[in-house]
Amino acid sequence: MPVRYGWCILLLCAFASPAQAQYDLEQPSSVWLRALVDVRLAGGGPAPSWTDHGRGKLRYGGSTESGDRVTRLALSQAALQVGAALPWDIRAQVQLNVEPDIADGYHPWLVEATLRKEWGEQKRGWGAQGGVMNVPFSLENVGPAWTPEFTISASALDSWLWEDMSLAGLEAEWWRTSRSGFRFDAMLGAGYGGDQIGRLLALRGWVLGDTLAGINGDEALPGRPDRTDIFNERDHKPTVYGWLSVEDPAQIAALKVGLLDNEGDESARAVWHTHFSTVALVLHPVAHVDVLAQFLDGTARVNAPPNDSSMSAWYTLVSYHYRQQRFSFRYDSFRVHDLDGGAAPSTSEHGHALTAAYLIQVGLRNRFALEYIWMSSHREAIGPLNPTPDGWQLSYRFRY
Amino acid sequence: MRRPLYVYRYKLLQLALLLCVTGVCVGAPSVSGTVTGPDGKAVADAVVFVQAPVPPAAKAPAGQIVDQIDKTFVPGLLPIVVGTSVRFPNHDQIHHHVYSFSPTKTFELPLYKGEEAPAVLFDKVGVVKIGCNIHDWMAGIILVLPTAHFAVTDAAGRFVLEDLAAGTYTLAAWHALSKLKPEDTAQSVEVGRDAANVTFKLPLAAARPRPAMHGSRAEP
């Protein structure tokens, strides 16, 4: 009998323990970790991609040996994000990316390393951020770990914003919601490392992709064996940028204007003086529909050796979203105009692209996506050899 | 002959006393009190509830809402009685992806403005921690209790438990940062003709929540 009694007590204890733990709450950690892995089956070509020093304008192109179309399985992106809540409500964030085909290897790129402090709340406040960061003008790169949210490849405009700019600097931001409900946001930033912003557009032209530039990275140039640094500081003059936005009270429309000038010293060797302005519109006209439109116009000048260009691009994206699924269509137009007609090969090009994408989120962690891009482009320096690449990608993305 | 006014006042006072004595004071506070830390400072957002005996539910619990406004769960703490359904509307224009990995209730809801996600039924007692898969600082708690008799402390640490029938109850206190389990805070209280008053002392753990982001870099 006493033995049975003991068993009863043991059983009661066993059942009592979970009951006592039911109100337990795991305390939030002040350090957190997130990751993203994107694996793709991609078909493109026949022109080899710019990432292989070819003339193709998509991330995955044809064979570099035979010039045939190629279907490949590739690790497109592995991202690791570490965040920490520091004293005084300072938020630290670091992101490392591995993009093997773009970086020509598996060495990680430092995409972001920032400290951020905000004062105030959603209605009104201001913030300061310092460290390694991109210029936040892209409407599309607002997905996990700065990936494009609406398609697999960003527009030509937003692809360039994220592939060619990684600065080390400071920025301040102010926001306020008026009594009538309009939200105003103003940002001003300055950073070093932007002395070759614009070089990619002049020597390579616009491309459609999803490169996330790292401060320690470099990128391939078409038709030549060398690469161009993403972070390059020669004249010790900071790149400055500003970003203004206003949003209506119903959050149906937001208008954004951005300006950037790298203040490049054109008298210094291999320093590009690039400035541009961009205007963007975000619309949510009806439930489930996002409409994005963005225009960019600017110039990139270099004197030693001379090779001046003006560039412009715009796109319109319409995306229908229902629960876990998203359908997106985008039209891109882009142009580079050689301004000096000098001895260097002409930088002039023009083209347009049409992108269709279907994305489906499965649970919290998994996303499948399919994308097709039709593109037509013409670059003067290539003459009749201009490729008219199109390509498709099937992506599986795991988000931790 | 007309009676003086004080006579009516006296009769009314007698009637009120009679109602209170017989426990028919419907809507009057049954138990009130405060929750403080060991240092005597008020503890806000603590939940005081009847641990035993659990009074039978008078009716099916009404549905509740945890809204998403300005990238924040509103309310951040929602105590409910077990069997309650909760809806999670999204009043932000951006996408939220609400989830819970808590053993009490595991679920996930991809939400976008204009979409009506199905309500989630909380059918097990315990704590449910909710978050947003996109905005990592968004955090909320749904405390699923076995009883409908609970109260949340205000900024001064005060609470009022109403509409308890006369009797002896065990009350417990819970707080997200409490170092004590609710069982360890239990106090017996007699609810009767006198207003009962209870004080809980909860030592709280230090916490450093993830700083929220409200600027234009907040989207990813």
> pLDDT tens digit string along B84-119?
999 999 888 788 889 999 999 999 888 776 667 889
Upper half-sphere CA count for residue A277 (Cβ side, 13 Å): 4
Q: Mention every residue, 6+ apart, whose C-beta is less than 8 A from residue A277.
A: A257, A258, A259, A260, A296, A297, A298
pLDDT band at A384 (very low <50, low <70, confident <90, very high): low
pLDDT band at A20 (very low <50, low <70, confident <90, very high): very low
Q: Dihedral sign, CA of B146, B152, B158, B160?
A: negative
* Complete DSSP assignment for A297-318: EEEEE-BTTB--EEEEEEEEEE
Residue A329's alpha-carbon distances to A312, A353, A362, in angstroms, are: 21, 11, 21
pLDDT band at B203 (very low <50, low <70, confident <90, very high): very high
Q: Is B182 on the interface with A (CB under 8 A)?
A: yes
Q: Which of A145, A141, A136 is nearest to A93 (CA)?
A: A145
Q: Is A143 on the interface with B (CB under 8 A)?
A: yes
What pTM value is reported for the model?
0.85
Q: Do the strands B29-36 and B196-201 form a parallel or antiparallel pair, or are they unpaired? A: parallel
CA B109/CA A364 separation, integer angstroms? 9
Query: Which of A19-23, A130-134, A173-177, B114-118 is predicted with the least confidence, judged by mean pLDDT?
Result: A19-23
Residues from chain B contacting residue A127 (CB–CB below 8 Å): 213-215
CA A267/CA B136 separation, integer angstroms? 46
Question: Above 60 in pLDDT, residue A268?
Answer: yes
Q: Mention every residue, 6+ apart, whose C-beta is less than 8 A from residue B102.
A: B126, B127, B128, B129
What's the pLDDT at A45?
78
Nearest to A85 among B104, B134, B208 (CB): B208
Give the minimum alpha-carbon distance from B7 to chain A in angstroms, rounded to a whole number.
Answer: 54
Residue A168: φ, ψ to 5°: -110, 110
Mark which residues 75-94 of B lie under 8 Å from A by CB.
Answer: 92-93
Between B192 and A10, residue with greater pLDDT: B192
Judge: A91–B209 Cβ closer than 8 Å, yes or no: no
Between A242 and B62, residue with greater pLDDT: A242
pLDDT band at B17 (very low <50, low <70, confident <90, very high): very low
Q: Do the strands A273-283 and A289-301 form a parallel or antiparallel pair, or are they unpaired? A: antiparallel
Question: Above 60 in pLDDT, residue A167?
Answer: yes
Q: Is B134 on the interface with A (CB under 8 A)?
A: yes
What's the pLDDT at B60?
73
Sheet with B29-36: strands ordered across: B158-162, B29-36, B196-201
* Structural element, H or E, at residue A161: helix A156-163
Give the minimum alpha-carbon distance from A127 to chain B in angstroms, rounded to a whole number.
Answer: 7
Question: Above 80 in pLDDT, residue B14?
Answer: no
Show the CA angle centred on residue A274, arms to residues A268 and A276, nearest 5°: 165
Judge: B211–A26 Cβ closer than 8 Å, yes or no: no
ipTM above 0.90, yes or no: no
Report residue A345 as tokens: 């090969």
Question: Above 60 in pLDDT, residue A324?
Answer: yes
Q: Dihedral sign, CA of A239, A308, A216, A315?
A: positive
Looking at residues A280-302, what average pLDDT do you find?
94
Query: Which of A88-97, A111-120, A317-326, A342-351 is predicted with the least confidence, judged by mean pLDDT?
Result: A342-351
Nearest to B181 among A20, A284, A288 (CB): A20
Residues from chain B contacting residue A91 (CB–CB below 8 Å): 210-211, 213
Q: Is A112 on the interface with B (CB under 8 A)?
A: no
Optimal mutation site among A15, A17, A22, interface B, most CBs of chain B within 10 A: A22
What's the pLDDT at B11?
53
Q: Is A287 on the interface with B (CB under 8 A)?
A: yes
Residues from chain A contacting residue B183 (CB–CB below 8 Å): 20
pLDDT (tens digit per residue) in A219-230: 999 888 889 999
Q: Which of A188, A161, A164, A166 is nearest to A175 (CA)?
A: A188
Judge: B110–A323 Cβ closer than 8 Å, yes or no: yes
Question: Above 70 in pLDDT, residue B12?
Answer: no
